[in-house]
């Protein structure tokens, strides 16, 4: 992607080092939200629609906050499958074509992998993929990277452990893929036998010369990494309850683990958590997950302003 202007954001593989730096520079400029009116003209007069067919707190609220801070109007539909005419059987394609007539940009979250591409195929205005099933969550990857840079002052050379059911977890997939833009990254996958990171991501890492290692044991990796990236067991993507129950609770990051990490290490999680990180961990400065969630506003302001903002 050469320029952000009027681009769809379909997946994290569109990004390269240069446009990531452009995005993060803009995010750093826009981050001081305490300046009244700062940047409020950038999206003035623009209408941004948020169609969320799946539940969300962070992605929807931070996109909406970002849009409003920069002066846009938002049309927002939570639980779109039930509270829009999708409930009457309207196709995603028809909904996107209709909402094109009301907006300048659409932010879409949908449970089906490939839904963002379907939307792009019929849309004359930019679509931002805010999560399409188990496949991809590109804007989460952007805010995760921004968080890593903010915490460590660099991204090159970091080592990161992804922990949990990695077969179903789009945020881990997206962050792995986007990390291939950086040098000397080391990745550790900590996952149960039948829920390992999928081969498409491993192939991409190999092709990009990113070293990765696999284990089932969390304590194996704590001393080796800068970042422990915990993940939720995503119940909504399991076909049977037994499989879900087998995986849930396998990895719980507790206060005792903090002492086993490197001194400068941090714990990240895209959230929501449902027990994977004990709340006792929250008091530690190593707990970066609420800082990470907050960074979503600056990164999403930067993204919206670069795609449809005034220059």
Check residue 181 for interaction with ligand CP (CB under 6 A).
no
- Of 230-249, binders to ligand CP (CB under 6 A) are none
Element (H, E) at 116: helix 115-122
Q: Pick the closer one to ligand CP by CB: 7 or 231.
A: 231
140 part of the interface to ligand CP, by CB under 6 A: yes
- Applying CB under 6 A, does 121 fall inside the site for ligand CP? no
The alpha carbon dihedral of 301, 304, 310, 311 has a sign of positive
* Distance in angstroms (rounded) separating the CA atoms of residues 46 and 103: 7
Tokens 């550790």 map to which residue?
188
Q: Are 212 and 146 in contact (CB under 8 A)?
A: no
Measured in Å, how far apart are the chain's first and last C-alpha atoms?
A: 18
Is 255 a catalytic site residue? no
Nearest 5°: phi and psi at 162? -95, 130
Are 304 and 68 within 8 A, CB to CB? Answer: no
Stretch of 19-27, 55-63, 145-153, 260-268 contacting ligand CP, by CB under 6 A: 55-63
Report the residue from 32, 45, 272, 275 that binds ligand CP according to the rule CB under 6 A.
272
Our answer to whether residue 59 is catalytic in this structure is yes
Alpha-carbon distance of 211 to 183, in angstroms, equals 10
CB of 232 to ligand CP, least distance (A): 9
What is the chain's Cα-based Rg?
A: 19
Q: Residue 123 or 140: which CB sits closer to ligand CP?
A: 140
- Concerning whether 58 is annotated as a catalytic residue, the answer is yes
Compute the distance between CA of residue 84 and CA of residue 252 in angstroms, rounded to an integer.
38
- Active-site residue among 60, 137, 248, 257? 137
- Which range in 32-40, 54-62, 67-75, 158-166 contacts ligand CP by CB under 6 A? 54-62
| 168 three-state secondary structure | coil
**Helix (H, G, I), strand (E, B), or coil: what is residue 44?**
coil
Phi, psi at 232, each rounded to 5°: -85, 145
**Known catalytic membership, residue 88:** yes
Residue (129 or 181) nearer to ligand CP, CB: 129
Q: Which is nearer to ligand CP, 42 or 134 (CB)?
A: 134
Question: Minimum CB separation from ligand CP for residue 271, in Å?
Answer: 5
> What's the count of helices (H) and strands (E) in the chain, helices before strands?
11, 9
Q: Which stretch binds ligand CP (CB under 6 A): 64-72, 177-185, 246-254, 268-276?
A: 268-276
Catalytic position from the list 2, 88, 207, 285:
88
Report if residue 56 touches ligand CP, rule: CB under 6 A.
yes
In whole angstroms, the minimum distance from the beta carbon of 183 to ligand CP comes to 27
Residues with catalytic function = 58-59, 88, 109, 137
Binding interface with ligand CP (CB under 6 A): 56-59, 131, 140, 270-272
């Amino acid at each position: 992607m050469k320029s952000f202007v009027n681009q769809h954001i379909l997946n994290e593989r569109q990004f390269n080092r240069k446009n990531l730096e452009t995005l993060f520079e803009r995010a750093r400029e826009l981050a001081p939200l305490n300046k009244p009116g700062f940047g409020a003209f950038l999206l003035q007069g623009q209408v941004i629609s948020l169609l969320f067919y799946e539940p969300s707190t962070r992605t929807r609220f931070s996109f909406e906050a970002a849009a409003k801070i920069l002066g846009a109007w938002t049309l927002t539909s939570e639980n779109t499958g039930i509270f829009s005419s999708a409930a009457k059987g309207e196709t995603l394609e028809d909904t996107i074509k209709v909402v094109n007539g009301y907006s300048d940009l659409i932010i879409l979250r949908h449970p089906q992998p490939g839904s963002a591409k379907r939307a792009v195929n019929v849309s004359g205005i930019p679509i931002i993929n805010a999560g399409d099933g188990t496949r991809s969550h590109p804007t989460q990857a952007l805010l995760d990277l921004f968080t890593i840079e903010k915490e460590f002052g660099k991204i090159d050379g970091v080592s990161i452990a992804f922990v949990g059911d990695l077969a179903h977890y789009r945020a881990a997939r997206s962050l792995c893929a986007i990390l291939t833009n950086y040098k000397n990254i080391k990745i550790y996958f900590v996952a149960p036998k039948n829920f390992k990171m999928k081969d498409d991501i491993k192939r991409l890492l190999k092709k990009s010369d990113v070293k990765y290692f696999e284990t089932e044991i969390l304590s194996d990796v704590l001393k080796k990494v800068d970042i422990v990236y915990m993940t939720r067991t995503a119940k909504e993507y399991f076909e049977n309850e037994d499989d879900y129950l087998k995986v849930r609770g396998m990895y719980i990051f507790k206060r005792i683990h903090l002492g086993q990490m490197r001194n400068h290490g941090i714990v990240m999680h895209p959230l929501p958590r449902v027990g994977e990180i004990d709340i006792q961990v929250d008091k530690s400065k190593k707990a970066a997950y609420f800082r990470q969630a907050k960074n979503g506003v600056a990164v999403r302001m930067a993204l919206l302003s670069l795609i449809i903002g005034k220059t």
